[in-house]
Amino acid sequence: MNDVFAVSAAPHIKQKISINSVMWQVVLALTPALLIGIFFFGIQSLFLTIYAVAASVFTEALIQKFRKVPITVNDGSAVVTGILIAFNINSSAPWWLPVLGSIFAIAIGKQIFGGLGFNIFNPALLGRAFMMASWPTLMTAGWKFTTPMNNLFQSSINGLNNLPSNFPEVVTSATPLRVVKALRDTTQISSDVANTVMDNLTGMNTLQDLFWGNVGGVIGEVSAAALLIGAAYLAWKHIIEWRIPVSYIGTVFVLIYVFGGINGMFSASIMLPIFHILSGGLILGAFFMATDMVTSPVTKKGRLIFGMGCGALTVVIRLIGGYPEGVSYSILLMNIAVPLIDRYTVPKPFGQIKR
Amino acid sequence: MGFKTFPGGIHPHDNKVFSKDKKIEVMPLPEKIVIPLSQHIGAPSKPIVKIGDEVVAGQKIADAGGFVSIPMHSSISGKVTKIAQFNHPTGALVQGIEITGDGEDKWIELVDESNFMDLSAKDLKERIADAGVCGMGGAGFPTHVKLSPPEGKKIDTIILNGVECEPYLTADYRIMLEQAEDILAGLKILMKIVEAKHGVVGIEANKPDAIKLFKKLLKNEKNIKVVGLHLKYPQGAEKQLIYAATNRKVPNKGGLPMDVSVVVQNVGTAIAVYEAVRYKKPLVDRVITISGKIVKNPKNIKARIGTFYSDLLEYCEGTTEDIGKIISGGPMMGFAIPSLETPMTKGSSGLLLFDKKEAHREQENVCLRCGRCVDICPMNIVPSFIAHHVRNDDWDSAEKSGVMDCIKCGSCAYVCPSHIKLIQWIDIGKIKVSENRTN
């Protein structure tokens, strides 16, 4: 019998979980949304995703080789970043856009800080911010409606009179959120018109389309349902935890309900918050980006604060800020606050003596 | 049926199937034993025999080394052959007394006083102290000390710990099934000593037959109840058990169960108490689980204290494969030891044998900050932060983060996807912080 026995600190049993299994399960959870993206926008979406993933993985490997550290691309984290980058562009984007976005995300968003576990920002979101700042027209233009959505807008607009001459164009070439923003910001149209468009946007048909993905959008955020299937899987596997998504979405719901209407406080219908939650990548952000382990708080209370902060910033950006969207910037801004949140939310030990 | 529990915790596979239906077997006398002089928390015992002395089973061979200490007794009859350093189940080398048996099993004179409940609390406690009883769940705190709260502290509840939340171990389960009356007699003695009004037997949900048996036996007892507890690790940890059973929180920063008027004793200890009081029988044997996938015939064995693990394993017909790891105790909090030539002690609840594959450990990786350790920590501290502070030799921050509150249950290390050896880091932190305190 061999007389050399392993001696180590307890515990001597270990749950079957590793960084690899966590990351590859996230990849799995993103697959339904990818499939829906391919279904709605064509095989081009798949190619763009492959470019993004390949660029991410290659960049990570190259930099790790350069840094003379073990190459860990098979842990799947770069694959996740690549997929999320592709999810944030639209299917008519040129091939080099996701490639450059991924290179930036991995190089500047992750490896420059020391790689996985040390990055301050969500790499994919940083990559998206980079693409937005560098090629804003490519990121927003060419936004495709699926046909039913287009018809909806046409019909609601055709029924209206007194529209300013440029308004239909604004509407038909814009995302639903952009329309909502335009309705809030413009003084060119009468409140009757604005209210009618708003009602149409927040009608049951629109919300259903938003939920199932029968709308335009970037590759990954088109179907809330597909994203939720993936999120449910991750929650079931205890890879994401309820606090961040729930506090994020809950905060958006409340704030939009209170401040989101176009006729002052509490003028919004209960459908408006739902509309906001289902559009503009909020589901993708709340379940897959804000929950990124590395860049979100460790403490339980911290996660609630983080989610609420993301929600509040998203609403501020959407209602007051210059962008119709706000998810990615709000998460990036909250990423910076994570060390501070963690420091001030260290829990009280079990049995803490009250003083 | 209204199971109770505590916040946090994990659900490891309990693996009790190997030995849970094996009746307790009495192990034949070993040829040789070693009685370590430190089997408990507190001062080591002082030997009162010398090499060449003839001893009988139950004979005192070492005095208590102080108030927080216990005497030691020979568990077999024979001759003292060595007093030296021997392997200890915690992995250390500890002074011990080796006794080579004469194969006759001669005993000291035992009594049988069926009216033992008439004895005064002081006499009862004295018999427990004389018998060298200490906690048999693992930590080994001298029982008579636990039963001596300082002036002003009232104990109103004795909790018997029948949780046995460590995977694999079934020794407590078997004694609960086979010696339930003795356990309850022990509980009543404990309650009498500290004048506790209430007795609680806490049993985890994976032992429904034990819960049923105790419920039946306690049908007519007004002051003693069974509390069923959810199957969750570390349900048997003292503070977690107290919270689940009584809804009281033991204060952190060195708080003791007696601060919330509770004393917790292991069910095995209750038997030792009963035997010490009724028969004046010293604690010289206990039930231990020998288990593991590779053990040919896993068993629950009643063996003499000081029996070598190698003899116990031999009695279980050895292993089917090469041993990769020897664990003294349970897999979550037990000690990996380098040799089977190690004597079992009063706190030895199990001996586990793992094969090479089970012994394999992954490399430590970077912290993903996933927070899984935070989610499950039963003490509600942040293990990953503490490990980080310890790595940076930042003892002040480690202390502020609650390193001393950690009960070392190992749940955090169990769930960590990065395989970070959190308990190892925390242990270093505990040692350093207490060193700094004394300096």
Integer Cα distance of B420 and B412 in angstroms: 9
Three-state DSSP class for A334? helix
- A-chain CB neighbours of B408 within 8 Å are 10
Contact: B370, A300; criterion CB under 8 Å: no
CATH of B111-279, picked from 2.60.120.200, 3.40.50.620, 3.40.50.11540, 3.30.300.130, is 3.40.50.11540
B30, two tokens: 């070993």
Q: Which residues of B touch A5 (CB under 8 A)?
A: 323-326, 336-339, 359
| A14 neighbourhood in chain B, CB within 8 Å | 361-362, 413-414, 419
What are the residue ranges spanned by the domains of chain A? 19-140, 147-340
Cβ of B253 within 8 Å of Cβ of A14? The answer is no
What are A103's two structure tokens?
Answer: 């290179």
The pLDDT tens digits of the residues spanning A149-197 come to 555 555 554 444 445 544 544 444 456 777 777 777 766 666 777 777 7
- By C-alpha distance, the chain B residue nearest A295 is B369
Distance CA B83, CA B97 (A): 5
In angstroms, the CA A15 to CA B412 distance is: 10
**What is the reported pLDDT for A138?**
83
The amino acid present at B124, given as its one-letter code, is L
Q: Decide if B252 and A118 are in contact by the 8 Å CB cutoff.
A: no
Within 8 A of A6 by CB-CB distance, chain B residues are 324-325, 336, 354, 359-361
Reduced to 3 states, what is the DSSP secondary structure of residue A355?
Answer: coil
Which residue of chain A has the CA closest to B358?
A13
> What is the rounded distance in angstroms from the CA atom of residue B106 to the CA atom of residue B54?
11
Q: Answer whether A12 sits within 8 Å of B332, measured CB to CB.
A: yes
| Average pLDDT taken over every residue of chain B | 94
B285 — pLDDT class (breaks 50, 70, 90): very high
Q: What is the DSSP string of B389-413?
A: HHHTT-HHHHHHTTGGG-----HHH
Residue B233 DSSP code: B
Q: pLDDT for B236-268, tens place per residue? A: 999 999 999 999 999 988 889 999 999 999 999
Q: Which of B332, B333, B368 sits opposite A294 (nearest CB)?
A: B368
Nearest to B142 by CA among B91, B250, B36, B66: B66
> What span, in angstroms and rounded, lies between the C-alpha atoms of A54 and A103?
10
Q: Report the residue of chain A nearest B413, measured CA to CA.
A: A11
Q: How far is A240 from chain B (nearest CA, A)?
A: 9
CA separation, residue A190 to residues A59, A194, A263, A267, B183 (Å): 52, 6, 12, 16, 84
Contact B332 A13 (CB under 8 A): yes
> How many CA atoms are closer than 13 Å to the CA of A346, on its beta-carbon side?
19
The amino acid occupying position A201 is L
CA distances to B142, B144, B226 from B190, in Å: 13, 10, 16
Whether the complex's predicted ipTM is more than 0.90 is answered with no
Span B137-152, mean pLDDT? 89
Best A1, A2, A14, A292 residue to mutate vs chain B (most B CBs within 10 Å): A14
Q: Across the interface, do A6 and B336 touch by the CB < 8 Å criterion?
A: yes
* Distance to chain A for B303, nearest Cα, Å: 24
Cβ distance A8 to B337 less than 8 Å, yes or no, reads no
pLDDT exceeds 80 at position B49: yes
Q: How many CB pairs under 8 A join A and B?
A: 166
- pLDDT score for B34: 97
Cβ–Cβ below 8 Å for A350 and B322: no
Q: How far apart are CA A74 and CA A70, in angstroms?
A: 11
Q: Is the Cβ of B389 closer than 8 Å to some Cβ of chain A?
A: no
Contact indicator for B287, B308 with CB cutoff of 8 Å:
no
- Chain A residues in contact with B12 by the CB 8 A cut-off are 13, 15
How far apart are the C-alpha atoms of A144 and A158, rounded to whole Å?
Answer: 20
**Mean pLDDT of the B307-326 span:** 95
pLDDT of residue A154: 52
* B residues 154-173 closer than 8 Å to A (CB): 167
Helices (H) and strands (E) counted in chain A, each on its own, are 17, 0
Question: Tell me, what's the pLDDT at A189?
Answer: 65
Mark the ranges of chain A whose per-residue pLDDT is less than 50.
1, 146-148, 157-162, 165-166, 168-173, 355
CA distance A149 to A147: 5
Tokens of A200: 């149409």
| Contact (CB<8Å) A22/B417 | yes
Give whole-number Cα distances, A319 to A184, A204, A270, A322, in Å: 8, 22, 17, 9
B 316-375 residues with CB < 8 A to A: 322-327, 331-339, 352, 354, 358-362, 365-372, 374-375
Check CB contact under 8 Å for B419 and A14.
Answer: yes
Distance from the Cα of A239 to chain B's closest Cα (Å) equals: 8
Q: How far apart are CA B34 and CA A314, in angstroms?
A: 69
B48: which DSSP letter? -
The answer to whether the CB atoms of A14 and B361 lie below 8 A apart is yes
| Cα→Cα distances A335→A301, A303, B201, Å | 15, 11, 48
Cα separation, A101 vs A81, in Å, equals 10
At A355 the pLDDT is 47
The tokens of A346 are what? 């260290």
Cβ <8 Å between A350 and B325: no
pLDDT value of position A159 = 45
CA nearest B312: which of B24, B28, B15, B16? B28
**β-strand B198-204 against B224-229: which pairing, if any?**
parallel
Chain A CB contacts of B325 under 8 Å are 5-8, 12
Residue range B398-408: average pLDDT? 93
Shortest alpha-carbon distance between residue B77 and chain A (Å): 31
In the block, residue with structure tokens 């169990």:
B414
Strands B25-26 and B299-304, bridge-based pairing: parallel
Q: How far apart are CA A94 and CA B275, in angstroms?
A: 83
Strand order in the sheet with B78-87: B32-36, B93-101, B78-87, B54-55
Which of B339, B364, B368 to mutate: most A Cβ within 10 Å?
B368
pLDDT at residue number A162: 47
State whether A18 and B322 contact (CB < 8 Å).
no
Sheet with strand B157-162: strands edge to edge? B224-229, B198-204, B157-162, B262-266
Q: Write down the pLDDT at residue A2.
A: 52
Task: Give pLDDT, residue A266.
Answer: 85
Under an 8 A CB cutoff, do B333 and A353 touch? no
Domain ranges of chain B: 111-279, 372-438
* Torsion, CA B280, CA B283, CA B284, CA B290, rounded to 10: 140
Question: What pLDDT is recorded for position A147?
Answer: 47
Q: What is the pLDDT of residue A232?
A: 96
The answer to whether the CB atoms of B382 and A346 lie below 8 A apart is yes
* B379 contacts A353? CB cut-off 8 A: no
Beta bridge partners of B94: B86
Residue B338: closest C-alpha in chain A: A5
pLDDT of residue A215: 67
Tokens 């099934």 correspond to: B177
Query: With an 8 Å Cβ cutoff, are B249 and A11 in contact?
Result: no
Chain-chain contact of B415 with A17 (C-beta, under 8 angstroms)? yes
